Structure 1
Amino acid sequence: MSEELEIEFKNKLSTKEYHRLLEYFKVQENDFFTQENHYFDSNLWELKEMQAGLRIRVLKDSAELTLKTPFNHYLLETTDCLSLTEAKQLLLENKIDSTGQVGKKLRELAIEPMTVHLIGSLITKRFEVKIPTGLIVLDQSFYGEQIDFELEFEVQEDQAGKINFNKFLKKHNLKRVPSENKIIRMIKESQKSN
């Protein structure tokens, strides 16, 4: 189990901007990895109402259950590690593991873990590169009929991070277009198709 503050800046990218950044970082096909995000909420959308998010993330060799909750203008991530077998079984049963720290945190929020169910999924093809000022993440995400591109900049400290993020945008001639969280984009897309 881990708990950490997520301090990141996000920006929508056009297809052209995304490919320009891939070219700048000389990204090869084997530099990418894929992650599946499977999102959960209750029938009453309790997590959405409190601007929180709950997901099982499946990677090539591992998986994790993460709850993101608002905390002082940031998101606090509470994560339980899962094996691939556990994650696949939970997804098959349309539930989460209620025994770990995520389950405990949900109960603290007055949400019974057994009431949450899968609300949708999103697949991301991701490239990450560490630079001196933080972690640059380039995402291509697939959900519903949508494909979108996004830049994320993960940092340890907010003010310096904001300055460095703006410098990065300026250096690469990128217009500031804030991006919504993936879960919000996925929910909007699924509600369009319903």
Structure 2
Amino acid sequence: MALIEQEVKIALEAESFARLKSGLGLDGVAPRQQVNHYYDSNQSALKAARAALRLRQYDQVSEWTFKQALDQFQALEITQTNAERLDSVPTSLAGAWIQDAGILGALAKVGLAPQDLVVRYGFQTNRWTLNLGWGELVLDQTLYGDQVDYELELEAQDLHLAQDYIAKLSQTYDFPLLAADKKIARVSAYYAELEKNK
């Protein structure tokens, strides 16, 4: 199913994350753990198209998601949900891993077929979610390599309301309003820097 995702993402420091998590009453709540793997062609065609293909695995289910940025706050998102977690993460997508016509069509629009894609990055995210009724507030702790980073996301249909709400949280819990890059951008920058320093 295709949808337009709208969200505001704010980068947090560890102390701000802890303060916000506590203030929102999420300290005693276990996070939902997810392991994400991102795929692209050897020529980084998805990255060039401001798109990504992600395999997200939870405890019992998994999902393939194609995302393509439309602007700073919006992205086209198409997801294929699988009834079970995959036994292993495929290193390439030759075969019938992806069956959703929407995802296959989106890949074709950027000149790719599943067999053109290989796994590029993997990381784990611990996610705390709070339903606000009009939007979904998410606190993420993401682990990759020797890094841990933190972010606040607010997904809502009304972006102005989301931005105002985050501004109030910023004042209440004393954190700066620093826009967060997408997770895949942060992870790929980290690994590119490691590669450069070899």
Q: TM-score, normalised by structure 1?
A: 0.90
User: C-alpha separation between the residues in 1 aligned to 2:104 and 2:79?
Assistant: 10
User: C-alpha separation between the residues in 2 aligned to 1:129 and 1:38?
Assistant: 24
Once the 2 structures are TM-superposed, how far is the Cα of residue 104 of structure 1 from its aligned partner? 2.3
Q: Write the deviation string for residues 171-190 of structure 1: whole angstroms up to 9, x where unpaired.
A: 32221111100011111111
1:17-28 equivalent positions in 2, closer than 5 A: 17-28=16-27
Give the letter aligned to residue 107 of structure 1. A
1:22-37 equivalent positions in 2, closer than 5 A: 22-37=21-36
Once the 2 structures are TM-superposed, how far is the Cα of residue 28 of structure 1 from its aligned partner? 4.0
1:5-154 equivalent positions in 2, closer than 5 A: 5-71=4-70, 74-85=74-85, 87-89=86-88, 91-95=89-93, 97-100=97-100, 101-154=102-155
Give the letter aligned to residue 68 of structure 2. T
Aligned residue pairs: how many?
A: 191
Once the 2 structures are TM-superposed, how far is the Cα of residue 49 of structure 1 from its aligned partner? 0.7
**Residues 29 and 128 of structure 2 are in contact (CA less than 8 Å); yes or no, is this contact kept in structure 1?**
no
User: C-alpha separation between the residues in 1 aligned to 2:69 and 2:124?
Assistant: 24
Q: Write the deviation string for residues 136-180 of structure 1: whole angstroms up to 9, x where unpaired.
A: 111110011211111111111223322222222223222111110
Once the 2 structures are TM-superposed, how far is the Cα of residue 133 of structure 1 from its aligned partner? 4.4
**Residues 125 and 140 of structure 1 are in contact (CA less than 8 Å); yes or no, is this contact kept in structure 2?**
yes
Runs of 4+ that moved beyond 3 A = none
Q: TM-score, normalised by structure 2?
A: 0.88
Give the letter aligned to residue 150 of structure 1. E
For 1:187, what is the secondary structure of its paired residue? helix
**Residues 40 and 117 of structure 2 are in contact (CA less than 8 Å); yes or no, is this contact kept in structure 1?**
yes
| Structure 2 residue ranges without an equivalent (≥5) | none
**Residues 34 and 56 of structure 2 are in contact (CA less than 8 Å); yes or no, is this contact kept in structure 1?**
yes
Once the 2 structures are TM-superposed, how far is the Cα of residue 31 of structure 1 from its aligned partner? 2.8
**Residues 98 and 114 of structure 1 are in contact (CA less than 8 Å); yes or no, is this contact kept in structure 2?**
no
**Residues 98 and 104 of structure 1 are in contact (CA less than 8 Å); yes or no, is this contact kept in structure 2?**
no
Give the letter aligned to residue 191 of structure 1. A
Once the 2 structures are TM-superposed, how far is the Cα of residue 78 of structure 1 from its aligned partner? 0.4
Give the letter aligned to residue 123 of structure 1. Q
For 2:178, what is the secondary structure of its paired residue? coil
Give the % identical residues.
25
**Residues 133 and 164 of structure 1 are in contact (CA less than 8 Å); yes or no, is this contact kept in structure 2?**
no
User: C-alpha separation between the residues in 1 aligned to 2:111 and 2:183?
Assistant: 24
Coordinate RMSD, CA, aligned: 1.8
User: C-alpha separation between the residues in 2 aligned to 1:29 and 1:63?
Assistant: 26
Q: Residue 164 of structure 2 corresponds to which residue in structure 1? A: 163
**Residues 107 and 113 of structure 1 are in contact (CA less than 8 Å); yes or no, is this contact kept in structure 2?**
no
